[in-house]
Structure 1
Amino acid sequence: MTLAAYREKMRELPLVSLFCSCILPQPKEKPTKHTPQVLMSASFIINNVFDGGQEAELLKHLAEKREHEREVAQKAIDEQNNFIKMAKEKLEQRMEINKENREAHIAAMLERLQEKVSADWLIN
């Protein structure tokens, strides 16, 4: 192609096409969301799945899968509730032990104070 022919071709093209041709020399076709081929293949797959009594088998499999997921979720909830219950019991035991220790410590301090007061009373 000669330079003159190239210039003539460029004058004929709109400005947007000129820029686009520089960036993308070969224009690409953009696929649409719902092309007939995709819809036909999807309906073909659906028809094949549901042909020959496979629908009942598929539904049974999905029901079993859903039931298994429910069982797993229920087991996780039960384990979480059990953990919370055990943590509460352990916390209550610790609090009770701390309360008993605190009361014993206070009683011992009061006893020593009583002994000291009575000893000071006897000395004076």
Structure 2
Amino acid sequence: MTLGGLNNRLLFLLVLETGKFRIKVPADEASGLSLSQLIVQNTLPVACLLFTMASSDIQVKELEKRASGQAFELILSPRSKESVPEFPLSPPKKKDLSLEEIQKKLEAAEERRKSHEAEVLKQLAEKREHEKEVLQKAIEENNNFSKMAEEKLTHKMEANKENREAQMAAKLERLREKDKHIEEVRKNKESKDPADETEAD
């Protein structure tokens, strides 16, 4: 059998069936190439599959060599039965579950669902508790700030009041001192006036 007109898939099937096929290579392609290079070049990708699947060596038989080209035959040695891998025709059939096993699976799934739900609720509760603590802390800090501001304002107002009272007391004291000084001057003047009148007479 030759390569002429056969696609790689059909050629591969024929090789597996007969164990050999023939190849003719034109002269322009055969020039300067060794026999093994010709085989590989003209049988890829089939040759790759043959080399991997063959259980023993491949025999190459040169048929003819002319000016127009070259022909040779590849002969596959029979594959041993031990080398043939055994593949299951169909996947192993799953074991039929009993009603009790199905019930156990359903119960286990329900337990997982409840456990997951409980975990979610726990996380939500912890989140709410954390938010509550943060809010409470913010309220306390605000109250403390307001209290401190109020105390500071009260202290400032008391200090201003005491300062004003001290200033008023100082002014009153100065006024009293001034009135006292005026009264003393007046008395001194009155006590000196009769004597002056007597001397004048």
TM over 0.5: yes
User: What TM-score bracket applies, with the shorter chain setting the length?
Assistant: 0.5 to 0.7
Q: How do 1:96-115 residues align onto structure 2 when only pairs under 5 Å count?
A: 96-115=143-162
- The aligned residue for residue 42 of structure 2 is 12
Of 153, 170, 179, which residue of structure 2 is paired with 1:123? 170
- The aligned residue for residue 67 of structure 1 is 114
User: Structure 1 or 2: larger strand share?
Assistant: 2
* Alpha-carbon distance, 1:13 to partner: 5.1
Give the partner amino acid of 2:35.
Answer: A
2:126 is the alignment partner of 1:79:
yes
Q: How high is the sequence identity, in percent, across the aligned residues?
A: 12
5+ residue gaps, structure 1, are 27-36
2:91 is the alignment partner of 1:40:
yes
Q: Distance in 1 between the 2:130 and 2:41 partners?
A: 79
SS of 2:129 mapped into structure 1: helix
Q: Distance in 2 between the 1:6 and 1:60 partners?
A: 67
- The aligned residue for residue 97 of structure 2 is 51
Q: Distance in 1 between the 2:130 and 2:150 partners?
A: 30
2:142 is the alignment partner of 1:95:
yes
Q: Distance in 1 between the 2:41 and 2:91 partners?
A: 44
SS of 2:34 mapped into structure 1: helix
Q: Distance in 2 between the 1:96 and 1:103 partners?
A: 10
User: Structure 1 or 2: larger helix share?
Assistant: 1
* Alpha-carbon distance, 1:107 to partner: 0.9
TM-score (normalizing by structure 2): 0.41
* Alpha-carbon distance, 1:90 to partner: 2.2
Structure ranking higher on relative contact order (CA contacts 8 Å, 6+ apart):
2
Q: Distance in 2 between the 1:13 and 1:40 partners?
A: 35
SS of 1:51 mapped into structure 2: coil
Count of matched residue pairs: 98
* Alpha-carbon distance, 1:99 to partner: 0.4
1:37-93, CA deviations, whole angstroms, 9 ceiling, x for partnerless residues?
A: 7x835xx3xx43x51221111011101110111111111111211221122122212
Q: CA RMSD in A?
A: 2.7
SS of 1:40 mapped into structure 2: coil
Larger Rg: 2
